[in-house]
Amino acid sequence: MGRLKQILTGKLMFVLISILLQLFLLISMIYRVSEIIYINYFLSFLSYVIVIYVINSRINMVFKLAWCVLILAFPVLGGVLYILFGGRLVPKKLRIESTLSLNETKGLVYQDEDVYKSFEEKSDYNIKKIFDYGEIVGVFPIFNNSEITYLELGEVKWKAMLEELSKAKYFIFLEYFIIKDGVMWQSILDILKEKVKDGVEVKIIFDDFGAASTLAKDYDIELEKYGIEALRFNRLRPALLVQMNNRDHRKICVIDNNVAFCGGINIGDEYINVEERFGHWKDSAVMIKGEAVWGFTVMFFQIYRYLKDETIDFEKYRIPCVPIKNDTFVQPYYDSPTDGENVGLNIHLNLINNAKKYVYIHTPYLVIDENIKYSLMLAAKSGVDVRITTPHIPDKKYVFQITRYNYEELIEAGVKIYEYTPGFLHSKSIVVDGEVGMCGTINMDFRSYFHHYECGVLFYNSDAVKDMYEDQMNVFEVSELITLEKCKNVNIIVKFIRVVLNLIAPLL
């Protein structure tokens, strides 16, 4: 009841009600104006012109289909809504300022030619293609002299994170979509307070939407009292603005440029199974040590620089790493809705398309376009063992229905679908052929692929790949293999709901 009261009386509910009220007034105004016959004719004609424009635009096909259906079903309303929101995935101010920040920090990371030559010698053609995309298009260099540790549960990551935070001497950077008050956060905050007293620089970024129902509205000010610099990303406003759609979904912890954490785990008690919300919470992350951590240090500054318009001495934070000598190759990467490149989506496609033996995927949501679906089906039809594990107990029921809508066609093509029966699977990881692993924040859905700021890390020739594979095998043992018969044995009303939800999924 306490959590429900917090949600109902919190900032998020106020913003949501305000936006819905504005949307209602906008729709009412459109219909009132359209009662004038000549205006109605004009808006209807304009809507059909917009449909032609949308069909010939360069946006993803699923967005084209969703908008065309909406406009043709409601010609006057749909056309006006597209003019206001459809062609603006990212508002101008956010796009320009965040792009400036990204460009300013891009020069801080570069590809070491000796490292790349070593990677080229040790990897085969398919693996090279996976990493080359990020290096060429995204300017995401490949690092070596780095160590990856796979953390198979939120509890494991929490313990490792507390241990590393307690060793900090220079700085701690935290960037999370959700920070929720509770056992996990208080244990971290206790260390941060002590570290500030010891002269350690602590900076925190959290998404205003993600924290709207979990933290007090002035919590950033409270943290400042402890000497912790706290910044909210993309503050929620009670206004019908397209920029409210772009969230910082990243989960990053960087310590002294020597240790970094990345993965699906936010800071909240459900992520470490102290609080049970949807059964057992299965998540994962990786701990990175060595030279690759600089990639995450720079990554943090990309958002920080956007939020804080000031001159920063970046070299101050390039603290020498504890020497690590091995043949592991690591590629940290990020995805931004402002750069015109769907990095998260394309890396997923590259991992699937270049698999030779198997590709095993953990994802909480399976809300995919035809590109991903076709790649999964083609891989399975080509003899690759394709397995996808999703939750059995969902956190968002409407998304779960879309996820299950996509099962049937994939299973018919030979893809094996599992549902994690103990509860909710929130992990975002992929392992390919026992050689390449990927862990990050990117869900297999439209929000992660097109709207949010995301991050991840690819790694090759690491024991973490083996550990990730073993974790996937353990998850299969406690998961239900979904059969084609079960997919078809659904009543017609549920089928209809799934079809409609899948159609409008890109607009949700």
Residue 335 within any structural domain of the chain? no
Same-domain check for residues 64 and 149: no
Same-domain check for residues 295 and 379: no
Q: What is the pLDDT of residue 237?
A: 65
**For residue 58, what pLDDT band results from cuts at 50, 70 and 90?**
confident
CATH number at residue 423: 3.30.870.10
Secondary structure of 108-138 as H, E, C letters: CCCCCHHHHHHHHHHCCHHHHHHHHHHHHHC
Same-domain check for residues 260 and 368: no
Residue 382 within any structural domain of the chain? yes
* Mean pLDDT in residue range 40-57: 80
**For residue 1, what pLDDT band results from cuts at 50, 70 and 90?**
very low
Residue 152 within any structural domain of the chain? yes
- Residue 166: how many other CB atoms lie within 10 Å: 11
Same-domain check for residues 101 and 22: no
Residue 64: pLDDT over 90? no
- Contact between 87 and 114 (Cβ < 8 Å): no
The per-residue DSSP string of 15-27 comes to HHHHHHHHHHHHH
What are 371's strand-pairing partners? none
Mean pLDDT of the chain: 88
pLDDT digits (tens, 9 = 90+) for 309-326: 788 889 999 999 888 889
Q: How far is CA 187 from the centre of its chain?
A: 25
Q: What is the rounded distance in angstroms from the CA atom of residue 156 to the CA atom of residue 160?
A: 6
Domain encompassing residue 396: 343-507
Least confidently predicted of 239-243, 483-487, 500-504: 239-243
What are 229's strand-pairing partners? 203
What are 248's strand-pairing partners? 453
Q: How many domains does the chain have?
A: 3
pLDDT digits (tens, 9 = 90+) for 327-350: 899 999 999 888 778 899 999 999
Q: What percentage of the chain exceeds 70 in pLDDT?
A: 92
Specify the pTM: 0.89
Same-domain check for residues 379 and 430: yes
Residue 176: pLDDT over 80? yes
Same-domain check for residues 380 and 398: yes
Residue 489 within any structural domain of the chain? yes
Residue 354 within any structural domain of the chain? yes
Residue 299 within any structural domain of the chain? yes
Same-domain check for residues 44 and 101: no
Higher pLDDT, 46 or 385: 385
Strand order in the sheet with 201-207: 146-151, 285-290, 259-263, 252-255, 171-176, 201-207, 229-233
Task: Give the SS3 label for residue 194.
Answer: helix
The residue out of 278, 295, 330 marking a domain boundary is 330
Q: What is the rounded distance in angstroms from the CA atom of residue 377 to the CA atom of residue 373?
A: 6
Same-domain check for residues 460 and 350: yes
Same-domain check for residues 158 and 29: no
Same-domain check for residues 366 and 455: yes
DSSP state of 444: B
Residue 76 within any structural domain of the chain? yes
pLDDT digits (tens, 9 = 90+) for 201-212: 999 999 988 877
Same-domain check for residues 348 and 446: yes
The residue out of 291, 309, 330 marking a domain boundary is 330
Q: What is the pLDDT of residue 239?
A: 59
pLDDT digits (tens, 9 = 90+) for 425-441: 999 999 999 999 999 99
CA distance between the termini of the chain: 28
Same-domain check for residues 270 and 354: no
